[in-house]
A and B are shown apart, each in its own frame.
Chain A
Amino acid sequence: MSRNKKVLTGTHFEMGNWACAEGAIAAGCNFVAGYPITPASEVANRLAARLPRVNGTFLQTEDEIGAICSAIGASWVGCKAMTVTSGPGISLMQENIGFAVATETPLVIIDVQRFGPSTGVPSVGLAADMVQVARGSHGDYQIIALSPESPQEMFDLTIRAFSLAEAYRVPVFLMADGFIGHMREQIVIPEEDRTKIKQRKIAEQSVSVLDRRDFLDVKVAPMPVFGLGLKAHVTSSCHDEHGMRNLSDPAVMHTYVMNPIKKIVNHRDDIVQVEDDCIDAEVALVSYGTVSRSARAAAGLARKNGLKVGTFRMLTCWPFPDKEIRQLAENVEYMLVLENNTGQMYPYIKAEAAHACRVSFLGPQTLGQIHDPEYILSHLNRR
């Protein structure tokens, strides 16, 4: 297999982390900065070997703060940029996640989640950062977060993450975990020309910054990337649509927070993906990420036992699939929320569902080990 080939079309038996790295390259990513951390290191290892052979750059920085700052800088010179880490790295990156949001920087952030607070357990997966990535930086903002359930989806959704980041000028998170990051399964990589990738809009040359609108467009402003001879103002402080700093006008302040949020929320139908097989179901098993596979196995067991059980999977966790959850709640009697944590998305799901059906939460019997299907079934039989 040629290590110089951009897209490794074919069938592979490799780790989720390998698939993520290959997904990034297939999406046209040409700059990745990172600092090694279990269980995400294989993504960086693979990209450090592969990117220089496909005209890209991999930079190992001194820490995760340097990594995200480098990736933001690379994005502003027009690179498709990414950083990859685990929960402790996300904690360090939070300040600059806010910077990327405020400056409307296209950026992909891979979070291969690990177990527990602080250094925790490096090699064991937990859906531990689900709220942290959406609410962890200060201010008020929206990002996009996607949740893969398999190594194949670590390939597919990494590509989608780049498309969304470029289309909406926003940080997009891939919420993998140590379990699928280190899991090997069949990975099918399609032909290069069959991968559709959205590209960012680039600002046109003009005499002055005030002749362009580079920011705060809810339909996404063209980006004034460096190196094209444009003069542009880029600041994370409150600014107007030209990028000019303004800390005095309340109307500008309102727009500075509201429009990047509207940019995501107004396009939520394009961004939100769910998988719903609850037609005729009385009970919905709601999940995302790795746990979805427990849910599907449990639904299969339940149907064999004559129970009308279906599954509902959130491939997009942020922006939150509120409308889809409401519709589901109105069509089932009971919603059981399954997460490999103590209930991070549960309050958001319950808020949209509890008006129409009964909702409860079930964590795994042992945190970090996704639910046994029989354990879910015994819970359904007891209810």
Chain B
Amino acid sequence: MVQTDLTIAGVGGQGSILAGVILGSAAVTNDGKYATQTQAYSSELRGGFAVTWVIIADEPVVFPRVTQPDILVAQAQDSITRFGDSVNPDGILIYDEDMVIEPPGYIKRIYKIPATSLARHEIQAPITANIVMLGALCKITGVVSRDALEKAIAMSVPRGKESLNRDAFNLGFEGVKAC
């Protein structure tokens, strides 16, 4: 069985959990795979920690918790502090370089993208930084297909915001770099 475990983390308001929901939805409803998505967050609406765990597999998921993610997507320094240690030694870190000042040295494959500033300056929508991160994730890992993810994003965002979010996805897909 092929199974990929992911952690997507940030602080409340960045849309980390929504990114996980979109990713799982892409896998299940568009790629014909199986996915399990869970989450945790603090009680503050903004500024507290927020995390989602997503498992994507080609068979039904048995154990639904992510204990050692293959991929960590970090939208804040706090995400590294909380979840950096748990990443599989052969795993992948993708981080927003506007928000993470000190990436850890112990993860072998690290990629970065200035998701927040790209979203703010290129498309004047910093709220779409999570979609930029999904674009980067799709390019680096291919854990779900580009087509499936783009469809799932279009289904999840408010009507009229589809092309804005497609632009955000493309910024991430084109702009991510290896460290």
Contact = CB atoms under 8 A, between A and B. Distances in A.
A12 B25 CA distance: 8
B116 interface: no
A373 B39 CA distance: 20
Contacts of A369: 65
Interface stretch (A128-136, A177-185, A326-334, A349-357): A177-185
A103 to B, nearest CB: 39
Contact of B36 (A184, A296, A297, A373): A184
Interface string A159-202: 00000000000000000000100111110000000000000000
A300 interface: yes
Interface residues of B, number: 21
B28 A13 contact: yes
A79 interface: no
Interface in A336-383: 369-370, 372-373
Nearest to A180: B64
Contact of A185 (B37, B40, B63, B67): B37
A316 to B, nearest CB: 22
Contacts of A373: 63
A179 B36 CA distance: 11
Nearest to A187: B28
B62 A300 contact: yes
B34 A186 contact: yes
Contact of A293 (B24, B27, B29, B64): B64
Contacts of B27: 13
A373 B62 CA distance: 10
Contact of A186 (B35, B38, B39, B64): B35
Among A12, A13, A293, A296, residue most surrounded by chain B Cβ atoms (within 10 Å): A13
Among A179, A184, A296, A297, residue most surrounded by chain B Cβ atoms (within 10 Å): A184
Contact of B35 (A185, A296, A300): A185
A293 B25 contact: no
A123 interface: yes
A372 B67 contact: yes
Interface string B7-25: 0000000000000010011
A45 to B, nearest CB: 16
Decide if the interface of chain A is mainly helix, strand, loop or mixed. Answer: mixed
Interface residues of A, number: 20
B40 A293 contact: no
A183 B62 contact: no
Interface string B30-63: 0000111111110000000000000000001111
A184 B37 contact: yes
Given A11-B29, A13-B29, A123 B40 contact: yes
A259 interface: no
22 contacts: A11-B29, A12-B29, A13-B27, A13-B35, A183-B37, A183-B38, A183-B64, A184-B21, A184-B37, A185-B35, A185-B36, A185-B61, A186-B28, A186-B35, A186-B60, A290-B64, A293-B64, A294-B63, A296-B62, A297-B63, A370-B65, A372-B65
Interface of B: 21, 24-25, 27-29, 34-41, 60-65, 67
Given A11-B28, A185-B34, A300-B62, 18 more contacts: A13-B21, A13-B27, A13-B29, A13-B37, A123-B40, A123-B41, A179-B64, A183-B37, A183-B38, A184-B24, A184-B25, A184-B35, A184-B36, A185-B36, A293-B63, A294-B63, A369-B65, A373-B63
